[in-house]
């Protein structure tokens, strides 16, 4: 199960990983906490009044197309996008939005989804949300709460039969080592580096960001094209002439063919570093549990 804040997040973080595991026969569910109603239109070709007026329906249709491309299941968990506050001082978040929900209210639909879908592995964001969007930060809080509560019959009674996931991972998607390796490869080929501005921004805020160790690298280069197709399905959010598609796929596959993760919780024995999100987890379809180990 991959837990995300908005439609399009599933395609920009961990999409090739999901496509790989779908091909290998795993059931994969994307749980999308909000409808992305307050997302900006980031593709100039879609910046039209009729699109802005129907953002909720359009983003759901985009999500449905991306889901089909990736081969995953998907469900919306019913909360309203908080938007990304901008300005100094920052304006208050909109009343009733996802990021302002009490933790137990925000977590209950995810606990219910976990108990129904019964995943062994959950993917989510780190405690800064990957970047400090209020919905991403809340998604981390909700994911940790649900991971820890879903297996406890005393918690969230009435939200389904208890089920304990075994591993919880944080995406480590946009880290410096990857960008540096790709930038070096671009320089060697005499190609323009689209990451130059990104490096400058990162240097300016280096003290604010926590670098998570990469415990798990999943080989999925052959699925990068599917990832990009899923991204393009989110036409209001993704500019086909933009940043996401500036690096040739063959270079990406050669230089950094993995998607990377930090193992935040584990109830099974596993040896780090890993190359498989299911390391230590039984994959024969049986209901038995591997031996319980201390949390990572």
Close Cβ partners of 262 (under 8 Å, ≥ 6 residues apart): 126, 169, 170, 172, 212, 213, 214, 215, 216
The single-letter DSSP state of residue 265 is E
**DSSP H helical ranges for 118-238:** 134-149, 176-188, 196-204, 224-233
- Find out whether 175 is annotated in a ligand binding site: no
- Find out whether 260 is annotated in a ligand binding site: no
What distance in Å separates the CA atoms of residue 250 and residue 180, rounded to the nearest whole number? 17
At CA 153, angle to CA 148 and CA 156, rounded to 5? Answer: 70
Asked if residues 170 and 3 have their Cβ atoms less than 8 Å apart, the reply is no
**CA dihedral sign, ordered 251, 253, 136, 38:** positive
What distance in Å separates the CA atoms of residue 81 and residue 6, rounded to the nearest whole number? 8
- Find out whether 6 is annotated in a ligand binding site: yes
What distance in Å separates the CA atoms of residue 14 and residue 190, rounded to the nearest whole number? 29
DSSP 3-state assignment of 197?
helix
Binding site, annotated residues: 6, 9, 136
Binding site, annotated residues for Zn(2+): 6, 9, 136
């Amino acid at each position: 199960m991959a837990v995300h804040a908005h439609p399009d997040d599933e395609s920009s973080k961990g999409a090739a990983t999901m496509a790989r595991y779908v091909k290998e026969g795993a059931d994969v569910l994307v749980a999308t906490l909000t409808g992305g109603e307050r997302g900006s239109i980031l593709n100039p070709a879609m910046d039209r009044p009729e699109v802005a007026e129907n953002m909720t329906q359009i983003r759901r249709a985009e999500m449905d197309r991306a889901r089909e491309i990736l081969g995953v299941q998907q469900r919306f968990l019913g909360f309203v996008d908080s938007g990304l506050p901008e300005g100094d001082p920052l304006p208050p978040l909109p009343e009733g939005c996802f990021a302002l929900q009490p933790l137990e209210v925000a977590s209950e639909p995810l606990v219910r989804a976990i108990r129904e879908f019964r995943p062994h592995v959950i993917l989510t964001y780190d405690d800064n949300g990957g970047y400090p969007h209020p919905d991403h930060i809340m998604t981390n809080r909700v994911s940790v709460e649900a991971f820890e509560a879903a297996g406890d019959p005393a918690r969230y009674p009435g939200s389904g039969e208890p089920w304990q996931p075994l591993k919880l991972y944080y995406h480590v998607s946009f880290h410096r080592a990857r960008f540096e390796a790709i930038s070096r490869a671009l320089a060697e080929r005499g190609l323009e580096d689209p990451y130059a501005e990104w490096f400058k921004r990162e240097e300016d805020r280096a003290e604010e960001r926590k670098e998570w160790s990469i415990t798990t690298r999943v080989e999925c280069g052959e699925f990068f094209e599917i990832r990009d197709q899923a991204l393009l399905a989110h036409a209001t959010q993704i500019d086909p002439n933009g940043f996401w598609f500036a690096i040739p796929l063959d270079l990406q596959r050669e230089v950094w063919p993995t998607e990377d993760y930090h193992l935040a919780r584990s109830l099974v024995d596993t040896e780090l570093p890993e190359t498989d999100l299911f390391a230590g987890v039984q994959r024969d379809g049986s209901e038995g549990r591997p031996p319980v180990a201390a949390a990572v």
